Chain A
Amino acid sequence: MIGNGIPGGGDIAIGFDKNARRGLLLVSPTALYALALLAAPLGAIVLFSFWTQDFLTVDTTPTLNNYREAFANPLYALLMGRSLLISGAVTVVTVLLAFPIAYYVSFYVNPRHKSLWLFLITIPFWTSYLIRVFLWKVILGFNGVINSSLLELGFIEEPLTFILYNANAVVITLAHAFAPFAILPIFVALERIDRSLLEASRDLGEGAIRTFFRVTLPIAMPGVIGAILIVFIPTVGDYVTPRLVGGPEGAMIANRIQVEFLRLNNAPMGAALAVIAMVLVTFVSLVIVGLNRLWLGRKS
């Protein structure tokens, strides 16, 4: 019964064995859902970016005007560049901070307590994102937690202003928000390292530090790359954090996309910005993956 009738897929089905048909049939609801609600809308947004809109009427004549505008207007270039820079900084900070934690939990924590540590690390991540970001505003603000404590203790005379409503604040807040995303893939990669490999390296005369760089890090690299991508990609498109703690100097591309769509009623321009953002993110991700291949390749 099952697998005999893939609708409209007569010729595709021929030549597949029963298992392949069952697998396809089973995955098809999810796949069709993703196709309809992800692939098709992504296609639509690409299409839209070649159209124009005047208030509420959409002109479907294909044009490159949105892209011309996106590259000509220095505001867009600034926002795009800043988004990439902030995300890059967030990624570097988050991954560098995360690695020692993942390393500690994987190598030094008693195996029985590992889940507890992971649990402790993931709990803050599951609490309201909006409120967490807002609380960073409270911590970093003009009369926020840091400034009032430092003033009270006499370390500073004037409240620090470089920590709120600028790119620094965005980096700190995002580094906090994406911490578990960086820790978990690195931890998983470290867990997979056969401990006897490290002993073998020591046995062959390598010191602890050289063992780390010659054995541990190369093997853990897929996890690190995973962490880098899983932090970098979503943060480029983050909206809430720059809006709440970024101020005008910390605004990012997502804020502009939102403005184009919901305030200026210029969906095609917003779509073009979204497409450019996707292309840039994909390009940077591919460069990261490529550099990693090159590095690992040179190693061996």
Chain B
Amino acid sequence: MTDPNRRQIISLRDVQKHYGSYHALRGITMDIAEGEFFSLLGPSGCGKTTLLRTIAGFEDVSSGHVLLDGRDMEGVPANKRPTNMVFQSYAIFPHLSVAQNVGFGLRKRSDLDKSAKSALIAEALGMVGLDGYGDRSAQALSGGQRQRVALARALILKPKVLLLDEPLSALDKKLREQMQTELRRLQRHVGITFILVTHDQEEALIMSDRIAVMFEGQIAQLASPQELYRRPVTQQVANFIGVMNFLPVEISMGQGGSIDLDIAGLGRTTIDSAQCPGAIRPGLGQAGLRPETMTLLVDGEDADGHLAEGQVEELAYYGDMTYYDVLLDGATVPVTISMKNLTGRQVLDRGARARVAWDPRALVVFAE
């Protein structure tokens, strides 16, 4: 995904932020390319919003550098930075009309006359699907419409970077899903770099080109959505992005860079060293496996590859999917397996014996 030919629009160099004794950002270094849809993902309090506000200029850095389009932003206040922001609360000015809100940032543009400004406002409103809403009072808008006004108001200034602080968290589920696709489409259309702050891993996966997962003021992993899901670098990241089962494993070095494993409940296998993201060494570790990479075989089905056996301890029926907790023979904790409820596939009962097909290529191994 990272194209070396693309220009880096944002560069952070060892950014640190202290609030008194609280260390909010602990040395953030990364680059964000022009035109990228980039997400900062993490639990609340991980520093993602602080980082966004540091880029916007609402927070000073305690040390380190924020470069925007190659220029060091130290001492440059928020109103002089080529960034614009969509706030979590949308921050729509309640005393102004929709058009006045959208045109707020054009006030100081003396190069534009009134009609040029109106044209820009109309264009911006059209872009977010609010044609003809200009004269409405900002208070008469629904949550989704406020969101669009906030977008139009920020994009009308053609910023180099658009910052979005949890922009969808206030919307209900349906509207949120609709806005996710729409935001993505809008970003491709305008080609501006978007930086999205979110605590919703699904949202980040759906929308982003790249995601930085943050814990406790540090970036735990910066990667594309697929990479992040398939090859999380730590157990913490693996747990935060979707669900991952962990089974105790004994690691020993094989030949030619391969690694031999003895996994509790699954047995012996050999994997490629690329499947071990951290430093790998012989000894004990944890083998991670996503629920959908395992298959529960029903009578008559067979697998070509690896097979394990166990017993269904618990199940949760979701309509389209069924989630099983299966205690594999030889393991101490159950693994979660998700199965699509295809036509004709029976749902197993609690207590039933189960055969589980799995694929060593799906394994991620963490040394302890």
Contacts and interface: CB of A to CB of B under 8 A. Distances in A.
B59 to A, nearest CB: 10
Contacts of B60: 18
Nearest to A18: B60
A16 to B, nearest CB: 10
A15 to B, nearest CB: 10
A17 B21 CA distance: 12
Contacts, number: 3
Chain B interface mostly: loop
A96 B29 CA distance: 65
Contacts of B19: 17
Contacts of A17: 19-20
Interface in A1-41: 17-18
Contacts of A18: 60
Interface string B26-40: 000000000000000
Contacts of B20: 17
A219 to B, nearest CB: 30
A173 to B, nearest CB: 45
Interface string B1-41: 00000000000000000011000000000000000000000
Nearest to A15: B20
B70 to A, nearest CB: 26
Nearest to A19: B19
A73 to B, nearest CB: 56
A150 B20 CA distance: 72
Interface in A121-135: none
A17 B59 CA distance: 11
A13 to B, nearest CB: 16
A18 B58 CA distance: 12
A31 to B, nearest CB: 23
Interface in B56-82: 60
A17 B62 CA distance: 11
A18 B61 CA distance: 12
Interface in A75-100: none
Interface string A159-170: 000000000000
A4 B20 CA distance: 19
Nearest to B20: A17
A17 B22 CA distance: 13
A17 B60 CA distance: 10
B233 to A, nearest CB: 34
B22 to A, nearest CB: 12
A17 B19 CA distance: 8
B57 to A, nearest CB: 13
A239 B179 CA distance: 66
B76 to A, nearest CB: 14
Interface in B98-148: none
Interface string A245-257: 0000000000000
A18 B18 CA distance: 13
3 contacts: A17-B19, A17-B20, A18-B60
